[in-house]
Amino acid sequence: MAAKIIDGKAISAQIRAELAEEVKKLQQETSVTPGLAVVLVGDNPASKVYVGQKEKACEELGLVSKKYVLPGDASEKELLDLVEQLNNDPEIDGILVQLPLPKQIDENKVIAAIHPDKDVDGFHPVNVGRLVIGTEGFKPCTPYGVIHLLKRSDVQLTGAEAVVVGRSNIVGKPVALMLLQENATITVCHSKTKDLGEVCRRADVLVVATGRPKTVTADMVKDGVVVIDVGVNRLENGKLVGDVDFDAVSQKASAITPVPGGVGPMTIAMLMYNTVNSAKRRAGVPVMA
């Protein structure tokens, strides 16, 4: 039986529409408008595209977006000074420094310099710690998008066997912690896992984030599994594919995300979600769960 497609484009559009309403309500009730600062260093073409998409999303939702562009040879101190200025700007609720940074700048130092309560990317060690202990904080956008996709598709997470393939700090580890928070039983796999197929076949929910096409094939999943494919890989023929053998796995799965159009569109929606929540905290009103 062919799987139900988990449509990230439609779900992210729904989230953005809800956020636009939240922004209107916040402005009417408290006069606070959420503000996002986006910092770009250098002229990496992919980074420019991402920054443009984030500005456009802010505009659509009624958020204030401020863009700061530093030259590619900017010093670490220049960037840290700008981050400090934004930390102290009362109209800025979220600071996003577009990664990767030029090699003269230490990314970890910059992430640590962002005030944890404006770290809408969820990469600051304080927010990572909050995620580990399960207290309120910013959750990183891509894995948070995975959780929203699952919840809005009514996937049962409590008690589910969840297997995550990949253990990066930006996807694998945080998504595993979020699934644990949702009461799933989690297993995290990586390149040294002995028998990946054997572990994946246990999964009710399988999240794959390796950056390698066909990491998961049909023989590695059980019937009825829900598959979230985070991977984005460009094949030699120009085609964009995920990390899962979509055509074959979708014949066994009960639900699956496509690539493109699955997890991808969720990332910016969750960045907006985090920024609106940050503004709600500033305004002293309850945040969205």
Angstrom distance (rounded) from CA 159 to CA 156: 8
Q: Is 9 in the site for ligand NDP (CB under 6 A)?
A: no
Q: Looking at 162, 164, 264, 278, which residue binds ligand NDP (CB under 6 A)?
A: 264
The three-class DSSP label of residue 201 is coil
Contact 30, 283 (CB under 8 A): yes
Neighbours of 87 (CB within 10 A): 15
Cβ closer to ligand NDP: 95 or 244?
A: 244
Binders of ligand NDP among 124-183, rule CB under 6 A? 142, 165-168, 170-172
Q: How far apart are CA 214 and CA 203, in angstroms?
A: 17
Instruction: Order the strands of the 94-97 sheet from edge to edge.
Output: 64-70, 35-41, 94-97
Q: Which is nearer to ligand NDP, 67 or 212 (CB)?
A: 212
**Cα–Cα distance for residue pair 276/92, rounded to 1 Å:** 11
Is residue 186 involved in binding ligand NDP (CB under 6 A)? Answer: no
Q: Is 217 among the residues that bind ligand NDP (CB under 6 A)?
A: no
Q: Which residue is nearest to ligand NDP (CB)?
A: 168
Phi-psi region of 275 (alpha: psi -120 to 50; beta: other; left: phi over 0): alpha
Contact (CB, 8 A) for 155 and 225: no
Minimum separation from the CB atom of position 265 to ligand NDP (A): 8
192 is an interface residue for ligand NDP by CB under 6 A: yes
Under rule CB under 6 A, residue 201 binds ligand NDP: no
Rounded to whole angstroms, the Cα distance separating 100 from 102 reads 7
Give the nearest distance from C-beta 188 to ligand NDP in angstroms.
9
Is there a contact between 43 and 282 (Cβ–Cβ < 8 Å)?
no
Number of residues located near ligand NDP, criterion CB under 6 A:
26
- Nearer of residues 168 and 185 to ligand NDP, judged by Cβ: 168
Q: Give the integer Cα–Cα distance in Å for 201 and 247.
A: 17
Distance, CA of 247 to CA of 190 (rounded, Å): 23
What's the min distance (Å) between Cβ of 242 and ligand NDP?
8
Smaller CB distance to ligand NDP: residue 156 or 217?
Answer: 217
Site for ligand NDP (CB under 6 A): which residue of 203, 206, 209, 228? Answer: 209
Task: Output the smallest distance, CB 253 to ligand NDP, in A.
Answer: 19
Q: Which residues bind ligand NDP (CB under 6 A)?
A: 142, 165-168, 170-172, 189-193, 196, 209-212, 215, 230-233, 263-264, 267
